[in-house]
């Protein structure tokens, strides 16, 4: 692993729960609870987990679209959580984001060219939307430059997502956060967009933080994978290690839920599938000890008293008292 | 790279319309809004030209022909004091429109400023502004209007102030809601993530998308102000004789309504047509500005 581009240390985010006329704080939602990971240059880290486990919050914290409660985030050796507003604004050319919903993430009053040009203009890298880099980026993302003068409502979801990607990549950022970039698209279009992202990464050497809940998408694009559960990373490792030798019971359960294309393998999967019972506990009141213990078939007394730390097991790190 | 071949067809593309071009096209393809626009244009035209071409003044009394309909020389006849109704009605439209436009301009200015601040910054500022509006709404302004006009007289600016007092908060509320809604959309977050400054986010992203609902309210506020001004005049807390306001004319003619109904019906029907035309335009604008109806013929 080369030197880390992104280094997250003990990142934490609490949202206050307020009630009543006086907005009294009655508790906290612990959306992200002390997570640490690194992302090397040119690497794609997949961040997976169920809805509400804190993956999108993590993505927004890294871009400082949300202010972290505590913890450190350093990008290319620069600590960003202590930057002033203006310093952070200038730093944003190095970190960009692609949003989940291509229908909501493009301003309906701006043309495609204006949308793609905006990051260049706000960073003083271009004077207006006639800059050649704009058309070049639109074409690199698989759209014709004739579409530059059109408005977002004239495009399909997949085409709009290409515009969103062009906007994110036009400043040639070092780190690109992809917040469920394909989950709002049809499966056939998903594959096109994933291939486009992969091609662009190879060409320009971007590093991706890929947030998703779809494991097959994550296994397609990631070099490393981190699995989150209730605001914590439960397992992190290379893609092959996570998918072939999962150590944490939660990872195992997630992987066994992915359908397989081969009917013979699919039959075996169905027979041995681990079906988790119950729901994810409330992040306002997480279980003591290991957060997964309420749904884990291996849970013992120690799981409710001691929180397991992330430790090296085989080729990956897992946080479990009884790893596989 | 996997390209969708359909995306890269060269050749003639249909004309791509900007938002405002599309709004204009849809507004003018709506029959009712054309009707409203024609009626309003006609009334505005006679309001401008009428007092110039009429040889009668608004308060000159012709004692020989009292309450006589369509007499030669008086196109719409005379009222109970022998005053020319055409001259009074056309001046009345001028007055109504002027009051309505001034009131609406002030209300929208206050609404956009306060509503924008409350919606964009939220928190304690929003709470203060919103609770102030809640309190303000329970004050009975028609009663207070009596008091104000008794003290200050029924001058133009007193009446404008009375109408602004009752009108500013609805535009404020609406713009606040509009800004809050747009502010939470992903493209605003995307602009912030791109590194856009707050001023750019407000001017290029929030502003243009939060303004359209205000344009519709603008039309309805004008219509509402015209009606309120007439209602105030009718109740005796607005303009008073001999000011040629539509409300004043309706109010003074009600004493001889059964004997000389035309004196009542002329200003009355003009008031109805004037309000209706503006409401039709407002309706047309609402449909034309609605992004969900874009592209529909």
CB atoms within 10 A of CB A217: 22
State whether residue A80 sits within 8 Å of chain B by CB.
Answer: no
State whether residue A122 sits within 8 Å of chain B by CB.
Answer: yes
B22 located within any domain:
no
Token pair recorded at residue A80: 């960003």
Are A96 and B193 inside 8 Å of each other by CB? yes
Per-residue pLDDT reduced to its tens digit, B127-155: 999 999 999 888 887 777 777 777 887 78
CA B199 to chain centre: 30
Banded model confidence at residue B3, pLDDT cuts 50, 70, 90:
very low
Are B4 and A105 inside 8 Å of each other by CB? no
Banded model confidence at residue B35, pLDDT cuts 50, 70, 90:
very high
Token pair recorded at residue B268: 């009355």
Per-residue pLDDT reduced to its tens digit, B57-73: 777 766 666 666 666 66
Nearest to B186 among A99, A118, A191 (CB): A99
CB atoms within 10 A of CB B31: 10
Under-70 pLDDT residues of chain A: 1-2
Are A122 and B197 inside 8 Å of each other by CB? yes
What are the chain B neighbours of A108 within 8 Å (beta carbons)? Answer: 19, 209, 291
* Average pLDDT of the residues of chain B: 81
Are A109 and B291 inside 8 Å of each other by CB? no
B247 located within any domain:
yes
A53-92 in b/e burial notation, b at 16+ Cβ within 10 A? Answer: bbbbbbbbbbbbbbebbebebbbbeeebbeeeeeebbebb
Nearest to A89 among B13, B195, B205 (CB): B195
**What are the residue ranges spanned by the domains of chain A?**
239-324
State whether residue A159 sits within 8 Å of chain B by CB.
Answer: yes
Count, in order, helices (H) and strands (E) of chain A.
Answer: 11, 12
B117 located within any domain:
yes
B153 located within any domain:
yes
What is the spatial distance between Cα A238 and Cα A223, in angstroms, rounded to a whole number? 6
Q: What is the mean pLDDT of residues B25-42?
A: 89
Q: What is the domain extent for residue B153?
A: 35-44+82-294
Q: Which residues contact B115 (CB under 8 A, 6 or more apart)?
A: B171, B172, B173, B174, B175, B176, B177, B178, B179
Banded model confidence at residue B46, pLDDT cuts 50, 70, 90:
confident
What is the spatial distance between Cα A32 and Cα A49, in angstroms, rounded to a whole number? 12
The H or E element spanning position A45 is strand A44-48
Nearest to A107 among B187, B192, B294 (CB): B187
Matching residue, tokens 């004050």: B139
Banded model confidence at residue B217, pLDDT cuts 50, 70, 90:
confident
B96 pLDDT above the threshold of 70: yes
CA quadruple B146, B148, B149, B155: dihedral sign: negative
More confident residue, B126 or B85: B126
User: What does the longest C-alpha to C-alpha distance in chain B come to?
Assistant: 92
Q: Do β-strands A95-98 and A175-179 pair in parallel, antiparallel, or remain unpaired? A: parallel
Residue pairs spanning A and B at CB distance below 8 A: 93
Q: Do β-strands A232-238 and A316-318 pair in parallel, antiparallel, or remain unpaired? A: antiparallel
Helix ranges restricted to H, chain B: 19-28, 31-53, 85-121, 123-137, 141-152, 156-183, 186-194, 198-200, 207-210, 212-235, 246-253, 261-289
What is the spatial distance between Cα A73 and Cα A5, in angstroms, rounded to a whole number? 10
Cβ(A251)–Cβ(A242) below 8 Å? yes
More confident residue, B125 or B16: B125
- How many domains are there within chain B? 1
Q: Which residue of A has its CA nearest to B3?
A: A142
B114 located within any domain:
yes
Instruction: Give the gap in angstroms from C-alpha A243 to the nearest C-alpha of chain B.
Output: 27
* Burial class (CB within 10 angstroms; exposed 0-12, middle 13-18, buried 19+) of B14: exposed
Nearest to A90 among B17, B192, B195 (CB): B195
B297 pLDDT above the threshold of 70: no
What confidence score (pLDDT) does residue B15 get? 64
Half-sphere exposure of A31 (CA within 13 A, CB side): 20
Which residue(s) pair with A179 in the sheet?
A211
Banded model confidence at residue B293, pLDDT cuts 50, 70, 90:
low
What confidence score (pLDDT) does residue B277 get? 92
Looking up residue B216, the CATH number of its domain turns out to be 1.10.3720.10
Are B209 and A109 inside 8 Å of each other by CB? yes
Sheet of strand A232-238, all strands in order from the earlier edge strand to the far edge? A95-98, A175-179, A207-212, A44-48, A224-229, A232-238, A316-318, A311-313
Nearest to A104 among B2, B186, B194 (CB): B186
What confidence score (pLDDT) does residue A1 get? 47
Peptide bond into A84 cis (omega under 30): no
How far separated are the first and last CA of chain A, in Å rounded?
Answer: 25
B143 located within any domain:
yes
B106 pLDDT above the threshold of 90: yes
Are A196 and B2 inside 8 Å of each other by CB? yes
Q: Do β-strands A44-48 and A224-229 pair in parallel, antiparallel, or remain unpaired? A: parallel
What are the chain A neighbours of B209 within 8 Å (beta carbons)? Answer: 107-109
Interface of B with A (CB under 8 A): 1-4, 7-10, 13, 16-19, 185-187, 189-197, 200, 204-205, 208-209, 291, 294-295
Instruction: Give the gap in angstroms from C-alpha A93 to the nearest C-alpha of chain B.
Output: 7
B172 located within any domain:
yes
B5 located within any domain:
no
What confidence score (pLDDT) does residue B6 get? 46
What confidence score (pLDDT) does residue B231 get? 85
Per-residue pLDDT reduced to its tens digit, B167-212: 888 889 989 998 998 888 888 988 888 888 888 888 888 888 888 8
What are the chain A neighbours of B295 within 8 Å (beta carbons)? Answer: 153
How does DSSP classify residue A53? S
């Amino acid at each position: 692993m080369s030197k880390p581009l992104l280094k997250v240390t003990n990142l934490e985010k609490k949202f206050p729960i307020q009630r009543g006329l006086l907005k009294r704080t009655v508790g906290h939602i612990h959306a992200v609870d002390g997570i640490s990971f690194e992302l090397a240059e040119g690497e794609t880290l997949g961040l997976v987990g169920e809805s509400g486990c804190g993956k999108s919050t993590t993505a927004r914290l890294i871009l400082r679209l949300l202010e972290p409660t505590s913890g450190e985030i350093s990008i290319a050796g620069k600590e960003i959580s202590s930057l002033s507003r203006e310093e952070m604004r200038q730093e944003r050319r190095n970190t960009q984001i692609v949003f989940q919903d291509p229908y909501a993430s493009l301003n309906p009053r701006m043309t495609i060219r204006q949308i793609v040009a905006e990051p260049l203009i706000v960073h003083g890298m271009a004077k207006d939307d006639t800059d050649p880099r704009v058309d070049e980026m639109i074409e690199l993302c698989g759209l014709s430059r004739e579409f530059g003068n059109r408005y977002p409502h004239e495009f399909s979801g997949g085409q709009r997502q290409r515009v969103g990607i062009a906007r994110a990549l036009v400043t040639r950022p070092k780190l690109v956060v992809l917040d469920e970039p394909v989950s709002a698209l049809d499966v056939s279009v998903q594959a096109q967009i994933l291939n486009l992202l992969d091609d662009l990464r190879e060409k320009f050497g971007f590093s991706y933080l890929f947030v998703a809940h779809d494991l097959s998408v994550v296994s397609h694009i990631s070099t490393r994978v981190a699995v989150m559960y209730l605001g914590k990373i439960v397992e992190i490792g290379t893609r092959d290690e996570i998918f072939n030798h999962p150590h944490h019971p939660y990872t195992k359960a997630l992987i066994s839920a992915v359908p397989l294309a081969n009917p013979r393998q699919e039959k075996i999967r169905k027979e041995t599938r681990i079906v988790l019972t119950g729901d994810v506990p409330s992040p306002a009141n997480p279980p003591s000890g290991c957060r997964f213990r309420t749904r884990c078939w291996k849970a013992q007394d120690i799981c409710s008293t001691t929180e397991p730390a992330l430790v090296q097991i085989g080729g990956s790190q897992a946080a479990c008292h009884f790893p596989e | 790279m996997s390209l969708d071949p359909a995306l890269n067809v060269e050749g003639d593309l249909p004309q791509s319309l900007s938002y405002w071009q599309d709004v204009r096209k849809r507004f003018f393809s709506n029959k009712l809004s054309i009707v409203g626009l024609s009626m309003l244009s006609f009334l505005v035209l006679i309001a401008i030209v009428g007092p110039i071409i009429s040889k009668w003044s608004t308060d000159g009394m012709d004692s020989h022909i009292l309450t006589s309909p369509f007499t030669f020389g008086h196109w719409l006849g005379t009222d109970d004091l022998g005053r020319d109704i055409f001259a009074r009605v056309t001046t009345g439209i001028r007055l109504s429109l002027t009051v309505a436009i001034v009131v609406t301009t002030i209300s929208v200015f206050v609404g956009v400023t306060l509503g924008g601040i409350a919606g964009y910054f939220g928190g304690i500022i929003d709470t203060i502004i919103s609770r102030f509006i809640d309190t303000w709404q329970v004050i009975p302004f028609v009663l207070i209007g009596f008091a104000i006009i008794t003290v200050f007289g029924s001058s133009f600016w007193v009446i404008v102030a009375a109408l602004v007092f009752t009108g500013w908060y609805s535009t404020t509320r609406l713009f606040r809601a509009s800004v809050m809604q747009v502010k939470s959309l992903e493209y605003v977050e995307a602009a912030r993530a791109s590194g856009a400054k707050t001023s750019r986010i407000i001017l290029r992203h929030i502003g243009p998308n939060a303004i359209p609902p205000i344009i519709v309210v603008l039309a309805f506020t004008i219509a509402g102000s015209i009606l309120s001004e007439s209602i105030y005049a009718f109740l005796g807390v607005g303009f008073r004789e001999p000011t040629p306001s539509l409300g004043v004319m309706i109010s003074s003619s009600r004493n001889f309504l059964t004997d000389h109904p035309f004196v009542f019906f002329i200003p009355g029907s003009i008031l109805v047509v004037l309000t209706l035309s503006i409401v039709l335009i407002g309706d047309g604008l609402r449909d034309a500005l609605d992004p969900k109806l874009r592209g529909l013929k």
